[in-house]
Amino acid sequence: MFALINPPAAFVGYAAIDPPVVLLPLGAAPVQLGFPSPAEDFEEDSLDLNRLLVRNPLATYIYKASGHSMARAGILDGDLLIVDRSATPQSGSLVMAVWEGNQPACKILLICQHHIELHSANPDFPPIVIEAGTEVEVFVVVSIARQVKRAAVPRATSA
């Protein structure tokens, strides 16, 4: 039996089957991550986050990530993982896996000839090897939603 060495993902809920369409404005200018360019203050289009994040509502579930084993893959503690049970997992896929009574784990799938491996994106966490014959469910993570957390910004002091 395997034990997870990092906290599991927690089930948040199901994706809505017929969610209301909520169109949000989409800016036409790309957001600069360095020094900002002069403002290009107009909108190009709008998008619905349900259509962007949820591909198959009947097979989509949302889990909340917990822990730091996937930080180098860009998945942080508290992120929402959108899982599509209808997508086919392949070697290299980012997946949610459940086996032998363990809680769900978000890992990178490696399919080998006689077993599968679940890899963290953190060298401090060794791969989990699941031997042939072990009952395991593997679902593809298709989207990640992140809440921006604001840190306290130090105030400038006057000289």
Active site annotation includes 64: no
- Which segments of the chain are extended strands (E)? 10-14, 23-27, 43-48, 60-64, 80-84, 94-99, 105-111, 115-119, 128-131, 136-145
Catalytic residue of the set 66, 69, 86, 93: 69
Among the listed residues 46, 91, 107, 158, the single catalytic one is 107
- Strands of 10-14's sheet in order across: 10-14, 60-64, 80-84, 136-145, 94-99, 105-111, 115-119, 128-131
How far apart CA 141 and CA 95 sit, in angstroms, is 5
Is 83 strand, coil or helix?
strand
Is 69 noted as a catalytic residue in this protein?
yes
Cβ atoms of residues 107 and 119 within 8 Å: yes
Q: Among positive and negative, which fits the CA dihedral 81, 82, 83, 88?
A: negative
- What amino acid positions are annotated as catalytic residues? 69, 107
